[in-house]
Chain A
Amino acid sequence: MEVTQVLLNAQSIDGAVRKNAEDSLKQFQEQNLPVFLVSLSGELANEEKPVETRKLAGLVLKNALDAKEQHRKFELVQRWLSLDGNAKSQIKACLLTTLTSPVSDARSTASQVIAKVAGIELPHKQWPELIGSLLSNVHQLPAQAKQATLETLGYLCEEVSPDVIDQDQVNKILTAVVQGMSSSEGNTDVRLAATRALYNALGFAQANFSNDMERDYIMRVVCEATLSPEVRIRQAAFECLVSISSTYYEKLAPYIQDIFNITAKAVREDEEPVALQAIEFWSSICDEEIDILEEYGGDFTGDSDIPCFYFIKQALPALVPMLLETLLKQEEDQDQDEGAWNIAMAGGTCLGLVARTVGDDIVPLVVPFIEENISKPDWRQREAATYAFGSILEGPSPEKLIPLVNVALTFMLSALTKDPNSHVKDTTAWTLGRIFEFLHGSVVDSPIISQANCQQIITVLLQSMKDTPNVAEKACGALYFLAQGYEEMGPSSPLTPFFQEIVQSLLTVTHREDAGESRLRTAAYETLNEVVRCSTDETAPLVLQLVPVIMMELHNTLEGQKLSSDEREKQSELQGLLCGCLQVIIQKLGASEPTKYVFMQYADQIMGLFLRVFACRSATVHEEAMLAIGALAYSTGADFAKYMPEFYRYLEMGLQNFEEYQVCAVTVGVVGDISRALEEKIVPYCDGIMTQLLKNLSSNQLHRSVKPPIFSCFGDIALAVGEYFEKYLMWAMSALQSAAELSTHIAGDDELVEYTNSLRNGILEAYSGIFQGFKNSPKTQLLIPYAPHILQFLDGIYMEKDMDDVVMKTAIGVLGDLADTLGSHAGSMIQQSVSSKDFLNECLSSEDLMIKESAEWAKLAISRAISV
């Protein structure tokens, strides 16, 4: 086959020609993969071929090695590994040759393909000569080939994990890269490629950063590169510094003063892309120190973990003024532009992080700036001052901030209505929101909102909701936090007199023509939700009145005919907001008997609407509608059975939605709600549900976070249907047992520990539900064969000593449930378990009341089981 022509045709503007070419490529690939790949690599390496076909050949080759979807990627990797060795050697030879091509696009494409092949082969200890051959004559190479080699190393480091390359080769890579970066390298492209390669290679340099001499050398070269005449090199060098700040935070002390000088100069003088990276360096240091300080609560004990070096605190007197300067460099319409990111925004964000890192110390450094600029005629100064104030509201203590806020509040309220500049109003509304978020509510001793100013605040916020969409959105946000602060206020809320007016204003906002801009409609509904959540009994009748209003809104979304895909997306979004709102209302009204009783008159109609929302779509279910149905099932109880025949298929559809795993997870939760609501009336649907859940568990495509809730859901179902669960017992138990074996020992990072604990909790909740479900049935002995394993699991996780409080509580509860249900059948088994002694005693003396309570239960059940 003539690859060149086909590849040319594949880029034709004529759709038919293109389609034809793509088909023949596909056919070629299917007929003879090795020959296909070899001819692609030949095309890429051939200097006589046009550059477009060489590039495309490389791209097709790359796509034959890697894919975004995990399972596809895995297939491609297996396919390459099993490919004929001869073909692979030919392809690799072509790729390496291409690195010396005079055509830059061909070189760059080859670099990427080599990295993909390396990504597959190096972990399997194949192609061991690659790095050596790349580096063997790097010094003698012409500049172009040198650049391509460094670029290849960069991609390679991005592709491959550090543990598959031994230190010897890492040393060689770093040497070549750092030498390529140094100022003695005359060629700009080589230096840029080396700097970008270092960014990816930093993760490999653990050992080298522990060696003072090598680290000094790397740091010196990186810092020098930040001063390069070429802006792209400076930017790439700062990117390296940002990466170093998080990867090697604990090694930075000797360099921090120099880095401060370099970054300060860049922030003040350099081009924006460089200045942004320079600011990011300090934001990143803040992230590190916030994490460290949060973890140790400030008093570091000097163990092997990373100590806080208080770089931010030390740099504070110079850092804060530098950041304040950036605040004055706003762009005109940055508030209307979703994608905006500029130096003022980066500086403001960094200032907020600095405040969180150092707390009170920042206040005296910022207050003079606020005072000086807040009333200046130039909007930039007023906005910068307001932003500075808003930034420091999280971090410092309320004692330090409240006196300031008491002075500023009136000023802010007035600015929000009177300032002529929209940008200032936007930031003012945002700052008010921050005030309410951090300094209002039960956490603060001296309230900043009194009866006297409450009326004024609400009036101003409601008025601002009529302002431009971005200002109105921030006003909604402020109201959200205002309502939240009154959440646990007891039977009477200061918002009660304004409730009707607030709800009315929010609904008006949702109907604004321009409510689609700046997230305004979403913000209005979210605020309405929070107002409802935080409402008290006094306003329950008003919340009830809201039900038909929101139902009507939802009904209206269902009337539209023949929507374009854009309209459909908007419709779906609005339905999401309305279902979300109904969910909050259902949950609120369902929580107390009198309101639930009145609300139930709407249940049929609401369910009808939800079903119509589902019917709007073909293959997916609406997550928000699903969540709302869960709340409805909980409120409705056993009567929910009447909706099941129609609802069931959507439930099944939700459980099958692996792509949007959140939808799947939410649906699993709703199965739990429905089980509790229907109890044994769920039996007719159990076959389908259990089959699907078991399928989900065995799928590699489903996001792992959905698996623990599926186990909990087994427990919900078993508890609901009792001995009828026998049908599924063997399958459920076998799935539980294999998951239990996997989750007994954890080796991994915090995230994995957390996941494993959630998995354990799901498994244990399943066991609890099953034991309690079978209790008092004549079939309890069906569970006996499983008891040894379950006890072993409990002993196993106890011995590991890494379970969290939630797992501990659930685990000791399972011990009680096992003893209670199996009684004397399990007496001797229980007595032999570690759990029944050490673990139980530990739980009995726990300070956590929930653990203690479960332990008391277990003790009682065990004593009975062994006494018979």
Chain B
Amino acid sequence: MAPHDIRRPFKRAAISDQQKRRELSLLRQAQNRRDAQQQARCLASSILSLQSAAPESQPEQSDIELETVPEAEPESEAFSKDLDVRQASKLRGPEVRKWFARQLMLPEWMIDVPDRLAQDWYVFARPAGKRCFVVSSNGTTVSRQRNGSILHHFPSALPAGAKIRDGSGSAQSYCILDCIFHELDQTYYVIDMVCWNGYSLYDCTAEFRFYWLNSKLEESGACNAPSHYHKFRFSAVPVYNCDQSGLHAAYTGVVPYAKDGLLFYNKHALYQTGNTPLALVWKDENCSQYVIDTDGKGEIPSQQQVVLELQDDRKLVTSDDPPVLFGCLDGDIIEKSGLHTGNLLRFAIGDGGLSFVDGKLEKADLIYLGKSNRARAFADSYSKVLFQFMVRHSPLKIDDLLASINSANDQEKTPSDIEMVG
């Protein structure tokens, strides 16, 4: 233990000029930051005061452009969505079907495993039941199925979902939920949240929407047991990060509903209406009763059946955007059966099956069966046809999914810049 040094600074200024330069720089930076913020706020304040002052005292403000340009956009957009929902409820017949069908995000079928499954995706067990859109507004709640038909009309604890005076049911307010109605326990399982209490979540990533869904749904009381003002129970589904344990939990975990496959949602994807590859559905016999499509009688046909749309040049296409071409229909059949452009037609896939070149469909052995059920709004999607085809021939197994997560893990462990020599 050596003696302790007690030297003090001698004949020295207490602060070095370098330190002073640092501090003056920081001061300047802080000042500049303040100026930049102040500028942003000033702009906003002048707009705000103009807006609040304008209706009363100075309706003919000359620099009115200041008032309208920056503020108006997000507001009017939200408002226009609001209008859409209400106007849509006045639509009738096929239009309403089409309109509502277009509002749902439709997962593609998983025909190959996306990259970075573990990092970028969520997984959850899809409840078996009727996919529907639940809209609460003006003190009532309506659920509509994919084809636009009303499933229930009921009071709910969702904001604006029942006629009670608790302040939540303001005229502006409404909710749109993407749900699956599960018959057995009469519960709406909410699989996505599109609008909540007037806030549009269309442009939010899945990560945000699920976060919001989990916190808000519970808070609203919509998960409570049914009561006079709340006819059906709502429930969120457990969502997992799609790593090995998450996938395992979704696949084997016990849930209060019957499972119908697994849904995979890309965390960064916004709520995109229509078919999207950023949401995927996959199933096998262990997690779904309905792996292979059944016909109208509930039986599995010996040959895979598909529904395609007839275009005016006789082409048969899927519902994808852009559509995928499956073949052309004989002019004879069109004439004989009195088919028109836009008709949805049912085909069986013959023994020739589907053939691919470079991963693209080249030829399909289609056998015409007839017009499809009137309730159908759309042709099948390419991924659905392919998934069904694979299920019958060489299905994508849960082990394949797990293996892809594991191999991605392995890849991350090894340095990326390996020189290939083999």
Contact = CB atoms under 8 A, between A and B. Distances in A.
Interface residues of A, number: 84
Contact of A825 (B3, B10, B32, B198): B198
Given A151-B1, A669-B25, A785-B204, A280 B6 contact: yes
A239 interface: yes
Contact of B21 (A477, A583, A712): A583
Contact of A719 (B40, B44, B172, B215): B40
Interface stretch (A174-182, A503-511, A626-634): A626-634
A360 B2 CA distance: 39
Nearest to A583: B21
Contact of A672 (B24, B33, B201, B204): B33
B113 interface: no
A346 B6 CA distance: 9
Interface of B: 1, 3-4, 6-8, 10-11, 13, 16-18, 21-22, 24-26, 28-29, 32-33, 36-37, 40-41, 44-45, 48-49, 51-52, 70-71, 73-75, 77-78, 172, 198-201, 203-205, 207-208, 211-212, 215
| A contact face: mostly helix, strand, loop, or mixed | helix
Contact of B17 (A197, A242, A530, A672): A530
6 contacts: A277-B6, A712-B33, A768-B37, A776-B74, A816-B41, A825-B198
Given A662-B22, A730-B205, A857-B41, A673 B74 contact: no
Contact of B74 (A239, A768, A781): A781
A466 B40 CA distance: 53
B165 to A, nearest CB: 16
A529 B21 contact: yes
Given A782-B203, A857-B45, A775 B18 contact: no
Interface in A608-644: 624, 627, 630-631, 634
Contact of A778 (B7, B73, B198, B205): B73
B16 to A, nearest CB: 8
Contacts of B3: 235-236, 239, 273
A784 interface: yes
B271 to A, nearest CB: 12
Interface stretch (A203-211, A212-220, A596-604, A860-868): A860-868
Nearest to A587: B28
Interface in A830-863: 857, 860-861, 863
Contact of A860 (B17, B49, B74, B199): B49
A199 B1 contact: yes
Contact of A781 (B6, B28, B203): B203
Contact of B1 (A200, A522, A769): A200
A864 B48 contact: yes
Contacts of A200: 1
A119 interface: no
A719 B36 contact: yes
A492 B70 CA distance: 46
A154 interface: yes
A432 interface: no
| B contact face: mostly helix, strand, loop, or mixed | helix
A760 interface: no
B11 A474 contact: yes
Given A825-B198, A860-B45, A673 B17 contact: no
A829 to B, nearest CB: 11
A781 B25 contact: no
A716 B35 CA distance: 11
A696 to B, nearest CB: 18
A276 interface: yes
B203 A784 contact: no
Contact of B77 (A576, A778, A861): A778
A529 B20 CA distance: 11
B119 to A, nearest CB: 13
Contacts of A781: 74, 78, 199-201, 203-204
Contact of A580 (B21, B36, B77, B78): B21
Nearest to B32: A676
A587 B24 contact: yes
Given A236-B3, A784-B212, 16 more contacts: A341-B10, A427-B11, A474-B11, A477-B13, A576-B18, A627-B25, A630-B29, A676-B36, A712-B33, A730-B205, A781-B74, A784-B199, A785-B204, A817-B41, A820-B44, A860-B48
Contacts of B13: 433, 437, 477, 480
B109 to A, nearest CB: 28
Contact of B44 (A154, A775, A825): A775
A778 B74 contact: yes
A196 B26 CA distance: 44
A289 interface: no
A149 to B, nearest CB: 14
Nearest to A287: B8
A782 B74 contact: no
A58 B70 CA distance: 73
Contacts of B45: 857, 860-861
Contact of B208 (A525, A530, A782): A782
B203 A154 contact: no
A198 to B, nearest CB: 11
A196 B1 CA distance: 7
Given A529-B21, A676-B32, A776-B73, A769 B37 contact: yes
Contacts of A426: 11
Contacts of A788: 215
